[in-house]
Amino acid sequence: MHKSGQITIFIILGILVLVAILIMASVSNAVKKEKLQKDADAALELESKTDSVKTLVEDCIEKTGEKAILILGYRGGKEDLVGPYLDEQLFDANYLYNMGETSAPTVEEMENSLETLVEKNLKKCTGKMDYSRSLDVSPEIINYNLLFDSMVAETGDIDATVKIENDNTLLTVTWPLIVTVGEQKKEITNFPMQKYNADLEKLSLFSQEFVTQLNYDPYVIDAFYLLKQNYTIDVGLVNNDTYVFLITDNSSMIDYTPLKFLFAAKVGETPLVEVEG
């Protein structure tokens, strides 16, 4: 009887140990399944957030490129106002001709200026690319419903490349972005090239030829030459010594608006410029 009782106890202990092992195995499998599910959910969330960030950046690249081209036009092909420049109450304009000195932009200078403008202003459009806890971004750009506190987007240096060719202006941006959701990360670097209907090459050549003519004789404008350009050209006289030219290219459209090119030419005090033709 004593031996039989000992065997029964061992059997019960064995069953308890087996049950404990089965429970531990079941819990372990459940934990593994839960982790796999969490990893899968995090991967889907990461993909969703990455797509959201990529879409936002692509939209900002397009808008920043448009703004850069418009700024370039109103500054006479330059990225900024370069002193000395015409400083008026209603508007400012760069001198492309100033008492015998010419500074009309080349195509290469325009490309470099656009690259600088895009690199300077792209982050202003995307806002603060750090969504850790405080979402300090513009509500016009960021859809808060698409972003969560668990997401962080780290940004690298922006590298913009502009190519002006034929009738178009092409913009390519390389910008390393590392999107983190939980413990998972994904990097975005390259974005689609943007193509703008802006014939800046023709405007560059026109401005160079025009100021060369002014340098030859600042008091004579060849009307036939201007008519051949197929531009709408408005001219105004400021301070009796400076002409302001607003060139409108109706064949170059930026955001459904004709491209405008503004510059000043200081020729010295003079009667009205003689127009040939």
Measured torsion, CA atoms of residues 99, 228, 71, 69, in degrees rounded to the nearest 10: -140
Residues 6+ apart with CB under 8 A from 216: none
pTM score, whole prediction: 0.77
Question: What number is the average pLDDT over the span 190-195?
Answer: 95
C-alpha dist (Å) from residue 33 to 42, 47, 150 = 14, 21, 22
Contact of 61 with 124, CB cutoff 8 Å: no
Question: What number is the average pLDDT over the span 258-265?
Answer: 96
- pLDDT, tens digit, 9 for 90 and up, residues 46-56: 788 888 888 88
**Of 18-27, 83-92, 168-177, 255-264, the least confident:** 18-27
Name the one residue in this structure whose structure tokens are 């100033």.
Answer: 98
Most confident range (mean pLDDT) of 9-18, 48-57, 167-176, 180-189 is 167-176
Q: Is the pLDDT confidence value at 247 over 70? A: yes
C-alpha dist (Å) from residue 50 to 45, 127, 134, 145, 160 = 8, 16, 19, 14, 21
Q: How far apart are CA 202 and CA 191, in angstroms?
A: 28
Question: What number is the average pLDDT over the span 6-26?
Answer: 70
Q: Is the pLDDT confidence value at 13 over 80? A: no
Which H or E run contains 271? none
**Where exactly are the structural domains of the chain?**
44-75+107-196, 200-276
pLDDT at 146: 47
